[in-house]
A and B are shown apart, each in its own frame.
Chain A
């Protein structure tokens, strides 16, 4: 059974650019959540998508957005990148009554 796949693994972008990250959940899981991890703030929740609808949203500016497709794959987009957006972005896939979360390997975004 394949795990959670995030692409790309590494990205370097310039301030002001935009970026799109992708996450493919475990087969059969309909929930995908995104988290930002930085040394100073730890792991912070960005948003959750369930069956193509945003179900939860964290406290991030509108530059951070996401979507989910009918096959449950999800993308997150960050527009007008700032230096402070440099972080490890993790996505989690959840399903079943236990709601156990499984994480991908993350995308390391560096903004220069």
Chain B
């Protein structure tokens, strides 16, 4: 059974800091891995998707890497801003599992002025 873990559970940083969020998964037979952002009471916004054959993806100040063999992904946020405050979730899609995503428990990020 796939299990996804995110560390840390919560993070508070001053504006402008670069930060790294971690995601680990137990079964490396994945099709892809997605990072999402969730604002309180809202739905999930897709940030980055990494296919199993890829090592990293970049979008603006965000960079996500994937090391399938070790079961790890990281989300790097450069020059953090207060608007980045949200919960960040990673989710894996397993091969042959249809479109069922297994989610981590999230990292709650607060960027302070």
Chain A interfacial positions (CB closer than 8 Å to B): 4, 6, 31, 33, 35, 42-43, 45, 48, 50, 55-56, 58, 88, 90, 92, 94, 98-106, 108
B100 touches A (CB below 8 Å)? yes
Complex-state Cα separation, A33 to B99, whole angstroms: 7
B89 touches A (CB below 8 Å)? yes
Measured CB to CB, the closest approach of chain B to A8, in angstroms, equals 14
B-side contacts of A4, CB under 8 Å: 43
Complex-state Cα separation, A58 to B103, whole angstroms: 13
**Inter-subunit contact B32/A98 (CB<8 Å):** yes
User: Contacting A108 at CB < 8 Å: which of B41, B49, B106?
Assistant: B41
Interface SS majority for chain B: strand
**Inter-subunit contact A31/B99 (CB<8 Å):** yes
B-side contacts of A58, CB under 8 Å: 100
Chain B interfacial positions (CB closer than 8 Å to A): 31-32, 34, 36, 41-46, 49, 51, 89, 91, 93, 97-106
B49, closest chain A residue (CB)? A100
Asked if A99 meets B42 with Cβ closer than 8 Å, knowing A42-B106, A43-B89, the reply is no
Complex-state Cα separation, A43 to B6, whole angstroms: 13
- 26 A-B pairs in the complex with CB atoms less than 8 angstroms apart: A6-B43, A31-B99, A33-B100, A35-B103, A42-B104, A45-B102, A48-B100, A50-B98, A55-B99, A56-B97, A56-B99, A56-B100, A58-B100, A88-B41, A90-B44, A92-B101, A98-B32, A98-B51, A99-B93, A99-B99, A100-B32, A101-B101, A102-B46, A103-B36, A103-B44, A103-B46
